[in-house]
Amino acid sequence: MNILMLGAPGSGKGSQAELIENDYGLLQISTGELLRKAVSEKSAEGIRADVYISKGELVPDELVLKLLTERLNDPDCNKGVILDGFPRNVFQAELLDGILEKYRKKIDIVFNIESPFEILKERLLARRMCAKCGKGYNMISNPPKSVYCECGGEIIRRSDDNEATIKNRLDVYLISTKPLINYYEKKEVLVNIDGNRKIPEIYQDVKVTIKKKGY
Residues designated as active site? 13, 88, 127, 158, 169
Nearest CB to ligand AMP, comparing residues 146 and 153: 153
Cα–Cα dist 31/45, whole Å: 13
CB of 160 to ligand AMP, least distance (A): 6
Residue whose CB is nearest to ligand AMP in the complex, by number: 32
CA atoms within 13 A on the CB side of 33: 19
DSSP-derived secondary structure letter, 132: T
Binding site for ligand AMP (CB under 6 A): 9, 31-32, 35, 52-53, 56-59, 64, 85-88, 92, 160, 169
CB of 43 to ligand AMP, least distance (A): 15
User: Element (H or E) spanning 122, and its range?
Assistant: helix 117-126
Nearest CB to ligand AMP, comparing residues 1 and 127: 127
Nearest CB to ligand AMP, comparing residues 10 and 145: 10
Nearest CB to ligand AMP, comparing residues 96 and 212: 96
How far the first Cα of the chain sits from its last, in Å, is: 8
In angstroms, the Cα distances linking 188 to 74, 84, 154, 181 are: 29, 19, 42, 11
CB of 88 to ligand AMP, least distance (A): 4
CB of 36 to ligand AMP, least distance (A): 7
In angstroms, the Cα distances linking 171 to 7, 36, 138, 166, 174 are: 13, 21, 23, 9, 5
